Amino acid sequence: MISRSTIDQVYETARLEEVIGEYITLKKSGANFKGLSPFTQERTPSFMVSPAKQIWKDFSSGKGGNVIAFLMEHEYFTYPEAIRYLAKKYNIEIEETELSPEEKQIKDTRESMFLVAQFAADFFEKNLWETQEGKSIGLTYFKERGFEDETLKKFSLGYSPESYDALCKKAENEGFKLDFLEKTGLVIVNEDRKVDRFRGRVIFPIRSMSGRVQGFGARILSQNSKTAKYLNSPESDIYNKSKALYGIFESKQSIAKKDLCFLVEGYTDVIQMHQSGITNVVSSSGTALSVDQIRMINRLTSNVVVLYDSDAAGLRASLRGIDLILEQGMNVRVCAFPKGEDPDSFAQSRSLQEINIFLEEHSKDFIQFKASLLSDEGKNNPISKAETIREIVESIHKIPDAIKQEIYIQSCSEIMQISEDVLFRALAQINQKNNQKSTKKFIPSEPVALIKKTADSEAKVERIFELERQIISILLTYGNQELNFEEPISITNEDGELIEETQKISAKVYEKIFLDLQQDEIELSHETFKKIFYKLIEFYQSYQGDLNLEKIMQTDDLIQNEIITDLVMKEEQHQLHDWEKRNVFVKVRGSEVERLVSETILSMRRYLIDQKITELQKGTKDKQSNQDLLKEIQMYQSLKNIISNRLHRVI
């Protein structure tokens, strides 16, 4: 595990504008920089970088955060991967926390295997370009397939010499241990003989989403019928074929930006599509599609188009894998190429425009495609047709969205010429059999998209959300300011009457908010707001100084950082439009902070009292004679009136 001191040093050293400047063009805009969003396709800049605050905000996609968040969003690094990337960039030595001997052994083994895999990839690539054997055999093959030099280098393609131990000898001479060469599957050890697994083959390195070489695919070029045409690395601590997608590293940004992923079968399909300009494509490398692979795609997009040749048997065998995609709540379409064509050959012989037109016109909704395919198989056979219908309904059942289910039922009803009622009954039987509901609830990404039942409940939920958001915004902007607040006090006058007056108290904004909420026993209901609230209070109490955003945002919680950035960068948004040049000046928030704090707390109190009154009123419907309940309602109503009067005075 990376030590805290290393993480702190990375945050202190890394410059946000430098890191982001390597990915997009930034132009000076006042104290900040602006540029085109790397997450959406736009012509007008909506991406803002604040060097002073070391945070960024993309107003087109809503994303935002610090330097780590940018790398996690743009490069799809994990938190540790982002830290290691920046440590390497700024020449920071990574210190590890104390690990148990077993943990250290596992970590060291994995790291050694990754180093060996990268060494092998470099060895194979160098052989392709710099040796006579590599040029005459490997390079000639790739050129015959129509691959250009730039494409070969983009995918780091290589060649393994015919010599039975060329890689093994080279690696051992460079100090790599035989044990790791064997564990990665690069070398096969039989008694005293050491043999390169991929000798005499062209090499396709398989990378993780972060770009590390995990394993290899290799194609033999000889006509030896006893040897498999393609050979993959065996399973190891760093390579699991069910969790790997060929081309994911090279395609991830394009997939996310276009919000679409093309899924093909082979390595050359991916490479040829890239060369033709279709860069949002990955391959399952000839293995059966797995849930882990689908989830990897789902991190980038929920839209998948499966590309296959016209072989009906191959299409039929792929139905199960595509059902898994449906089960993950993703949108699936399928495109079959003309007879005798596959994505590789089709892309090689056509222009980018022709490919795009074909994909657009021939991509069908998968449920409809499956219905048509199975319908043809069961033609003129009632029993076969019944089985086909049940199989189609099984696929529809896997879709979590009830509305989509109904639309697909209607579509299949037309294709199969059977009533919707029958299909719905079949769906209900499957639901009952699997002991689950026909719909599944998914938690939307934050900031919260709220499930609403009535216009009234919608307004209430949005009101508390905005109030809690306002509290976080105040703490971020003014938390350490010391101000004078008016506090109500009750005193008895000469006539013995209870009257309310105010007195001035001096307090820091965070103290005022924290103590008032504690006094009223109010907890923020939004989970992320609650986490940020206590993190801010803890910071102000511990450091007794102005807010250090970099310290607050040292977390792998992207949602938390996105909310903080959204609130902090809100005032900078107007800089994107150069309003000052048009003699339009935006008022900077900061005046009358005391009023803002008091109004927000009082509004929250009134909201919660309203909720309590509503709850008690529901109880009176069943207990009309309960005088105590009515008195309690009157008491809360009086409190609400007092708070409303205070609010009017504050306003």
Whole-angstrom distance, CA of residue 556 vs CA of residue 149: 39
User: Which CATH number describes the domain made up of 101-239?
Assistant: 3.90.980.10
Residue-wise pLDDT tens digits, 92-108 = 988 877 667 777 788 88
Per-residue pLDDT at 202 exceeds 90: yes
159 pLDDT more than 80: yes
The answer to whether 128 and 151 are in contact (CB under 8 A) is: no
What does the mean pLDDT of the chain come to?
Answer: 81
**By C-alpha distance, which of 342, 336, 332, 327 is closest to 367?**
332
Overall average pLDDT of the 181-187 stretch: 94
pLDDT number for residue 449? 33
More confident residue, 473 or 585: 473
Query: Which range is least confidently modeled, 112-116, 137-141, 628-632?
Result: 628-632
Helix H or strand E encompassing 617: helix 593-620
CA gap 478, 459 in Å, rounded: 28
pLDDT greater than 60 at residue 290:
yes
Query: How much is the average pLDDT of 607-632?
Result: 70
Report residue 622's pLDDT band, with 50, 70 and 90 as the boundaries: low
Note the pLDDT tens digit of each residue in 546-580: 788 878 888 878 888 888 888 888 766 655 555 44
Residues 364, 336 contacting (CB under 8 angstroms): no
Provide the pLDDT confidence category of residue 308 given band limits of 50, 70 and 90: confident
In this prediction, residue 524 has a pLDDT band, given cuts at 50, 70 and 90, of: confident
Q: Round to whole Å and give the CA distance between 178 and 213.
A: 18
> What DSSP line would sit under 53-95, residue for residue?
TTEEEETTT--EE-HHHHHHHHS---HHHHHHHHHHHTTPPPP
Is pLDDT at 161 greater than 90 in this prediction?
Answer: yes
Picking from 514, 434, 438, 518, the residue whose alpha carbon sits closest to that of residue 480 is: 514
Residues 2-11 have a mean pLDDT of 86
- Quick one: which H or E segment has residue 1? none
Q: Where in the chain is the domain with CATH 3.40.1360.10?
A: 248-433
Class of domain 248-433 as given by CATH: alpha beta
Which has more pLDDT, 579 or 142?
Answer: 142
pLDDT above 60 (res 226): yes
Give the whole-angstrom CA distance, residue 370 versus residue 315.
9
**Which of the pair, 192 or 160, is modelled with greater confidence?**
160
Instruction: Note the pLDDT of residue 101.
Output: 78
Please tell me which of 255-264, 377-386, 434-443 the model is most confident about, judged by mean pLDDT.
255-264
**Span(s) in the chain for CATH 3.90.980.10:** 101-239
Which pLDDT does position 490 carry in this prediction?
54
For the cut 50, the answer to whether the pLDDT of residue 439 exceeds it is: no
Grade residue 125 by pLDDT with cuts at 50, 70 and 90: very high
Position 447 confidence tier, pLDDT thresholds 50, 70, 90: very low
Looking at the chain, the domain(s) classified CATH 3.90.580.10 span 4-89
Residue 582 pLDDT? 43
What's the CATH number for 4-89? Answer: 3.90.580.10
Q: Where are any strands of DSSP class E within 239-383?
A: 261-264, 281-283, 303-308, 331-336, 364-365
pLDDT at 448: 33
Cα dihedral 412, 418, 420, 421 sign: negative
Q: pLDDT value at position 444? A: 37
> Is the pLDDT reported for residue 585 higher than 50?
no
Best CA proximity match to 335, nearest among 351, 315, 359: 359
**DSSP code, position 622:** T
Q: What are the DSSP E strand ranges found in 383-454? A: none
| 349-354, Cβ contacts within 8 angstroms, sequence gap of 24 or more | 350/276, 351/276, 352/276, 352/277, 352/278
Instruction: Please report which residue ranges of 145-247 form alpha helices under DSSP H.
Output: 149-154, 166-173, 178-183
* pLDDT tens-digit readout, 481-511: 887 777 665 555 566 555 556 667 788 888 8
> What's the average model confidence in pLDDT over 344-370?
88
